[in-house]
Structure formats: C-alpha cells, structure tokens
Amino acid sequence: MYRILIVEDTIAIREEVIDILVMEGYTVFQAENGRIGFEMALKEIPDLIVSDILMPELNGFMMFKKLQKDKRTRNIPLIFLSAKGEKGDIRTGMNLGAEDYLTKPININDLVNAIENKIKKKLIIDQNIIDKTKTLSNIIQNREKELDSYSHLISHELKSSLRNVSDLLTWTQEELEETTNIGDSNSKVALMREKVEKMELLLVKLEELKNITPASFKDKMINVQMIAMQVIDRIKKPPHITITINNELPWLFTDENMVGKVFEILIQNAVDHIDKKNGFIELGYKETEKQHVFSVKDNGVGIDEKYYKKIFKMFEAIESTKSTGIGLSIVEKIISHYKGKIYVESIPNQETTFHFNFPKKNNKND
C-alpha cells in the first residue's frame, strides 16, 4: 500500500490524521517536527507527505526546502496543513511547489480526496518517467547495437580493401622485377587507386550516417521542387542521361538538408547503374489521403527481387564497384525518422523505381 508521512507537532491532530489514513489502508509514518520529518522522509521515502507549517526546531517550509534539495526526496508531493486565515503561508507553500493545502480543523473527506488525487497524480508522473526511461534505454541500446555493427562492418570492409591493395602491390612489384612491359602494372596501379578512393568514400558516408541523429533534424517549411532541382544541378552525370521531374513536388515541413540528401543518393545511385545508350531518370510525386509519395525511376541494370530488402542493409551493394553499400541505409534512416517507408520495384535489365513516402499526420503542412 502507499506510504504517507505525517509531520505535525500537535499530537491530537497528528493522531486524528493517522487514524483516518490507517482506516483507509495507508501505511503511515509520523514525526512531531520538521527536523524529524526530514530525517524520516530520507529513511522511508514515502509516496506523499502531509505537513504542518508552524513547528518547533524546523518549520514546514524549511523542511520542504531541504527535501527539494535532495534528489531522493525532491519529487515527493507534499500537502500543507494551515490554520484558517493564514493566506500568506498558503501562498508561500504553493510558491515553493507544494501540491495542495488543507485548513484546520481538517475535514475527513477533503483529506482523503486530496491524498487520493495526489497519489494518482504521482503515479501518472512516475509511469511517465518509467516510460521515458525505457524509451531512452531502448534508443541507447539500439545506438550501441548500431555502433557495434558499424564497427564490425567497417573493420571488415577496410581490411578487405587493404588486403586487395596489398595483393596488387605485391603482384605489381613481382611483374616489374620480371618484365619491362609496364602495361599490366599500370592497370594494377589504377585498381589500387580505385580501392583507395572507395575507402575514402566509405569513411565519408559513414561520417554522414553517424551524424544522422534526432537532434540533427531542423524541420521547417521547404519547397521540395526547388531542393530536387538544386540536387539535379549538382549531380555529375554523363551527357547521355537525362533527369526530369514529372510532377510538381510539394512544400513540406521537413529538414532541407536531409530531404536533399535523400534525392542526391537516389539520383546518384540511378546514374551509377544506368547501362543504356540513352539513359533516363524520372522523379515522380503523388498525393494520397494519408501520404506524400515520391519516386525515383531509372532505366538501368535493374535489381533482382531477392535483393529488394537486402540493399537497404549496411554494405550491401549490388554488382557495383562505385557503391559503398551505405547510401541506401542513409536514405532509409532519414525517411524512418519521419515514420515513412521506402521500397523498390524493378525489372532486371529494364528499369528500377524507388518509392518513399512522408505520412501526412507527421507533417505540419497538412
């Protein structure tokens, strides 16, 4: 049962309150002044304190101030008992943070109702703290798992690339010792340069992924059409590839940099995988009752259905020497922040379309 501390110097009032609360099923502790009340609160950590104001040794206000300074007792609700007409004392107590006050002589129903209400309020607050603590703990655990996963994957990828560079160096050295034809050696040097560039890009992408945290999102009203056009202008693409926006893109309440990063990664990914003489990339948009739905379509190499989910995992690149296998993980992380989803549809050797959405209920523009 709930535990209540009664701090009152008048024995008759103290015993009357104790009798009432015991009959109501509470576990009750008592103290005859503020000093003892403070010590008792530290020892028992009650769910609620009912205290007189004017008491010897340490009055109710001073006791309450001391309780608020101690992290063990600062959140215990307190009800002051006040004589009629002591409005100044009541105001002081409420300013200190007291939950309520009752006037003497005490009305039994008022006392029981006040205590029940304050206990219920404390339970709600305590449950909110527990829920928030669990949520925070889950976030921390997930972050730790991510970091462990990243650490393992980074180690594997970098070691693999370094082994490749080391092997190429060994082969190149052996060829230079055996022949004067440096053609093969030059090709191996080019491969080594490519491996090094991939490692550098890998570290850049990992830094981007690491920096995507809830605190990094700075939402405001943005023109998605303008953001997409700016990204298209920045993308380095060969002249045989055209990029078009089929529908006017909307205004959304999102983070400008994050949305730009989503388009940049998806468009660059499309450019890297187009193998046709006349390549195209199309950005699309449609609005449904509950969602803003975007798409990025290309006529590249396509993706086999068995890789549809795999490509969004870390370092899962499909037959590409340019990809780090991190880009789509970044995209999914950004979209997930807004409680959206991303998925892919593809016909191998013909076309690929990435669809992603932003739920309207999470957007202040709707």
The CATH number of whichever domain residue 65 belongs to comes to 3.40.50.2300
248-306 per-position pLDDT tens digit: 999 999 999 999 999 999 999 999 999 999 999 999 999 999 999 999 999 999 988 88
Is the pLDDT higher at 168 or at 215?
215
Element holding 209 (H helix, E strand): helix 183-210
CA dist., res. 212 & res. 328, Å (int)? 13
Does 145 have pLDDT greater than 90? Answer: no
Quickly list DSSP for 103-117: EESPPHHHHHHHHHH
Same domain, 223 and 360: yes
Question: Which residue is it, tokens 């008759």?
Answer: 12
Indicate the range of 136-140, 216-220, 231-235 predicted with least confidence.
136-140
Q: Establish if 165 belongs to a structural domain.
A: no
Same domain, 84 and 219: no
pTM of the predicted protein model: 0.51
Q: Establish if 339 belongs to a structural domain.
A: yes
Domain count for the chain: 2
Position 200 scores a pLDDT of 66
Last residue of one domain, picked from the residues 79, 106, 133: 106
Q: Establish if 141 belongs to a structural domain.
A: no
Q: Establish if 158 belongs to a structural domain.
A: no
What is the CB neighbour count within 10 angstroms for residue 300?
23
Q: Establish if 225 belongs to a structural domain.
A: yes
168-192 per-position pLDDT tens digit: 666 666 666 666 555 565 666 666 6
Which burial class, exposed, middle or buried, applies to 135 when counting CB atoms under 10 A from its CB (0-12, 13-18, 19+)? exposed
Position 321 scores a pLDDT of 43
Instruction: Provide the pLDDT confidence category of residue 163 given band limits of 50, 70 and 90.
Output: low
Does 68 have pLDDT greater than 50? Answer: yes
Pairing of strands 3-7, 78-83: unpaired
**Can you give the CATH number for the domain in which 356 is found?**
3.30.565.10
Instruction: Provide the pLDDT confidence category of residue 364 given band limits of 50, 70 and 90.
Output: low
Mean pLDDT over the full length of the chain: 81
Question: Which residue is it, tokens 């608020």?
Answer: 68
Last residue of one domain, picked from the residues 53, 73, 106: 106
Q: Establish if 182 belongs to a structural domain.
A: no
DSSP one-letter code for 235: -
Q: How does 231-257 read in b/e, with b if 16+ C-beta sit within 10 Å?
A: bbeeeebeeebebebeeebbebebbbe
Position 259 scores a pLDDT of 96
Average confidence (pLDDT) over 319-328: 61
Domain extent, residue 230, equals: 215-366
Q: Establish if 354 belongs to a structural domain.
A: yes
CA dist., res. 262 & res. 274, Å (int)? 19
4-15 per-position pLDDT tens digit: 999 998 898 888
Q: Establish if 195 belongs to a structural domain.
A: no
Is the pLDDT higher at 352 or at 318?
352
Take residue 349 and report the two structure tokens written for it: 């050797």
Three-state DSSP state, 208? helix
Which residues are CB-neighbours of 32 under 8 A, at least 6 positions away?
A: 7, 8, 9, 11, 14, 55
111-133 per-position pLDDT tens digit: 888 888 888 877 777 777 677 77
CA-CA distances (angstroms) from residue 167 to 110, 156, 182, 188? Answer: 84, 16, 17, 10
Last residue of one domain, picked from the residues 67, 86, 106: 106
Task: Using a pLDDT cut of 90, give the percent of the chain over it.
Answer: 36
Ranked by mean pLDDT, the top range of 30-34, 104-108, 134-138, 291-295 is 291-295
